[in-house]
Structure 1
């Protein structure tokens, strides 16, 4: 079991390292962006490496100054930086509500209107053929959440549009997400979480697309807030409540025996139930969160194989995995059944997943594999029959596969552009997602969306994304480095890889989710908005990588100084 567990950790290390290299190279050399907000066509440009290096150096200087101040002021600086970060999110998010005046549009507007109509007593929202939910029943969970918020707003009796209140709630939820991700650092890297947390908070402060998305009335922000709480409780469970505290002994025949004793307490049970609850809510609000749930289930399974776990702990972890599987898969059908019972009607099974896979292989006016209407057109052409829609989609997939085989160069170019259009867009389509307004947007923000400041915003996002991927790469490199014995030099600690040498598999939960998301969105419908949540998941790993890189750089410089002095 011990060898199998270590093998699993090593496989994760290698795969995430390869992914980090691929993401950083693509982001460092290119930038994907949209200039025309009407067509929203994704454009590709090659970057100036020297300029990107200069931007990375500027961020490195910012991180170094932050760590220097943290080393001098200690815990007061870190707590002050946390308060400043949360205050900045509230301030900028509030200003965006007042001066940005973003309103729901497209799918977001459809879900919002469905919740509003349901409150007014329109039961036709639940209908097998002509309602929005007939096509996209997976939105029923988000509709339930928006219904709750709209009912709370209606109690105030104010005439201001309720979506402004929803956006205010989203700003608060964004603070919740940042706070719990910050608290998770203590369990991810217990020895270095304080300096890593400073780097993390700097990343948050510079993440402008995250602020812009706080006004996006859809599932990303509330779902990520639930994910952050659920992952925090999961890490607390595995690190504190049922740690693999082991005692290694030698039997008379020379065999090493690892034993442990641990009693499951009420705190452990409530922590596990809390994690299941919030992770399930994240799926209810955004079905794509199932990708992270799969990562959590894999971690739970392999953590039961970790040396040192007691039998009761292993049974508890497996029971948690089973419960999480049931709740995450069943939450949306359960919510749907509740609405169907109240409406006295049913919903159709909706647009098929197969049609999304087919659409992900097709050309689009916006980019390779982006939305072109194939999924909903196919569902309509099939008379809203899932089997017929799947048959059409399979035929379209086979047609594209045949074309890719005949034109391999085109296939490589297609998927390369599809990848870059999603993972090399540092704005994560935040302007496109929050573009809609009914008037009143400030002149400054108009310039950000479609004017002279748009290019500056794109460049800012590209620089931030380069830092994100570089930090991830530095972390992944540090985890796969072979341990070297210390030689008494100034960089012995850095060579020893004391930070990342004995990481547990649950440390990589976020990276496993990003790896799964990368594979999924390679074949699914493309959109850089879908990558936004993965960028947030990468921030703790980037912070750890940046901190480790700066420590190694300082140790290298110190070693060079000592070498020069000894030679002189």
Structure 2
């Protein structure tokens, strides 16, 4: 009886994950097939919706055709050789990008970097001064600590860009190795490698001196170690995985979604195969998360000599994610500086700021209830603007003329000054993103209705992660730059569709 119950829970969870992911990805694919989001390269994130140009449709067919035909030359290379070749090309392109950029950074990235340099000089004012950046954003202490280490080697933004390049290539390698652990088809490995290097937003994020890229690497490293742990339950694998995931969350708090995905998958696997070691692993991950956060706060409290507050209340990000400020160019739910102003409005009293955010949130929810048509339009535009912007702000986060950030070559100016280069990248990104949604939707529908063999619980990880990111940013403050990581991890699924042929389909059925 117990076995039947646990099997039912597992099968229900399995079906629910695939069905929800398929519905949402099909919806996004349908949206982007006719129109997409476009972000001008201006200071304000004034995203707008545009109809797809007619040339998009033949280009989409041509791109999918080229991907399918590319199997003939992919079969002539081994996966390691393909990875090395594309990595070398990536290194050359990245060197060109870094050398020909001014190196100036802005916004949060600039504040964290300046705080790191100041801390290394013994100046803690950004954390100790009322209203200072780190005072308002103590969740950035993990990233600041990493940049303090960077600064000991070279206190320049170009060095951070160079290290970003290393993190990205290592992340691409881990995506390939994770795919190889979960799928033995070498053609899938090769397509995965090809698609990760074709995914250009990751490349342009090299110039984004923030915690997303290194944090993503530690997420992938943690998950790869967990796959090794699953093959051979070893204390070392489990502990290193827990530490890696904790580092990821210290560098970028949003990666708690990845950790929750891992916990959810392992919890679901308990209903398939009970293991005390799995349960112990879950406890180890939770303990490392808790202790790492406490440890870094304690270190900086001892350093500055007083308690560190909560800073901007987290609920303010939810309130901001449900606001629609008519006085700003941004769409509803996008960043509108609400979180940066709420502490100041309340004299930096964190409790009062939290109470105001809660009260504002209640008013927003009441407004949605009173105006369901407005609520539907609000969330539709929020979702569409987040998930159908082909560049994921990877170029918007780079050099901007309005901010006196310059590039040195005609090609880069064409991209970063919103000329022909930027338009072509938008078009290619539109084709690429549409292909990912289409191929992933097809794969999930096939798994639900026709496949005889179920996916393993660990093969569910990109869909659980995607669902977590989708529902998180449905309510939380949103930007398209936040969600590229969820799309990136769908690439191995697209690779599986591209690698299929009649013989494989017959064998699976």
2:12 to 7, 12, 15: 7
User: Residue 60 and residue 36 in structure 1: after superposition, are their counterparts in 2 closer, same or farther (change >3 A)?
Assistant: closer
Structure 1 position 408, deviation (Å)? 1.9
1:372 to 317, 336, 342: 336
Alpha-carbon distance in 1 for matches of 2:228, 2:70: 27
Partner SS state of residue 463, structure 2: helix
Paired residue secondary structure (1:431): coil
Q: Is residue 2:490 matched to residue 1:543?
A: no
SS of the residue corresponding to residue 290 of structure 1 reads helix
TM-score of the two chains, using structure 1 as the length reference: 0.83
- In structure 2, C-alpha distance between the alignment counterparts of 1:35 and 1:553, rounded to whole Å: 46
Query: How much is the aligned-residue C-alpha RMSD, in angstroms?
Result: 2.0
Alignment of 1:280-299 (within 5 A): 280-299=246-265
Question: Structure 1: which 5+ runs fail to align?
Answer: 154-160, 242-263, 483-496, 557-568
Match of 1:176 among 139, 148, 170: 170
1:235 lines up with 2:235 in the alignment:
no
* 1:208 pairs with 2:200: yes
| CA deviation string 1:334-370 (max 9, x = no partner) | 2121022122133221111111111111124222211
Kept after mapping to 1: 8 A contact 2:218/2:244: yes
Contact 2:18 2:463 in 1 (8 A): no
For structure 2, the residue ranges without an aligned partner over 5 or more in a row are 1-5
What residue number does 2:73 align with?
69
**Aligned partners of 1:283 and 1:510: how far apart in 2?**
18
The alignment of Structure 1 onto Structure 2 pairs a total of residues equal to 494
- Please, what TM-score do these two structures have when normalized by structure 2? 0.92
Question: Partner residue of 2:481?
Answer: 529
User: How do 1:449-460 residues align onto structure 2 when only pairs under 5 Å count?
Assistant: 449-450=416-417, 451-460=419-428
Aligned to 1:560: none
Question: What's the counterpart of residue 130 of structure 1?
Answer: 131
Query: Does the aligned pair in 2 maintain the 1:128–1:346 contact within 8 Å?
Result: no
Q: Is the 8 A contact 2:399 2:405 kept in 1?
A: no
- Please give the per-residue CA displacement for 1:2-50, whole angstroms capped at 9, x wherever unaligned: 23222221221111111221221122222111224133310101225x6
- Residue of structure 2 in register with 1:259 after alignment: none
Task: Specify which of 464, 484, 505 is matched with residue 512 of structure 1.
Answer: 464
Maintained 8 Å contact 2:135/2:311: yes
CA distance in 2, matches of 1:24, 1:440: 34
Residues in 1 aligned to 2:235 and 2:74: alpha-carbon distance in whole angstroms = 36
SS of 1:458's equivalent in the other structure is helix
Q: Distance between the aligned counterparts of 1:435 and 1:468, measured in 2?
A: 28
Give the Å deviation of 1:134.
1.0
- Equivalent residue number for residue 326 of structure 1: 287
Match of 1:218 among 207, 210, 219: 210
Instruction: Answer whether contact 2:399 2:406 (CA < 8 A) is retained.
Output: no
The answer for the alignment partner of 2:346 in structure 1 is 382
User: Does the CA contact (< 8 Å) of 1:230 and 1:278 recur in 2?
Assistant: yes
Residue aligning to 2:433: 465
3-state DSSP of counterpart to 1:126: helix
Q: 2:180 is matched with which residue?
A: 186
Q: Secondary structure at the match of 2:49?
A: strand
Q: Following TM superposition, by how much is the alpha carbon of 1:555 offset from its aligned partner in structure 2, in angstroms?
A: 7.1
Decide whether the 8 Å contact of 1:94 with 1:171 is kept in 2.
no
Structure 1 residues 100 and 535: alpha-carbon distance in aligned structure 2, compared to 1, 3 A threshold: farther
Q: Retained in 1: the 8 A contact 2:407–2:413?
A: no
Aligned 8 A contact 1:34 1:43 in 2 = yes
Contact 1:223 1:285 in 2 (8 A): yes
Q: Counterparts of 1:314-463 in structure 2 under 5 Å?
A: 314-363=275-324, 364-436=328-400, 438-450=405-417, 451-463=419-431
Deviation at 1:552, TM superposition (A): 4.9
- Which residue in the other structure is 1:43 paired with? 48
Secondary structure of the residue that 2:489 maps to in structure 1?
A: helix
SS class of match (1:44): strand
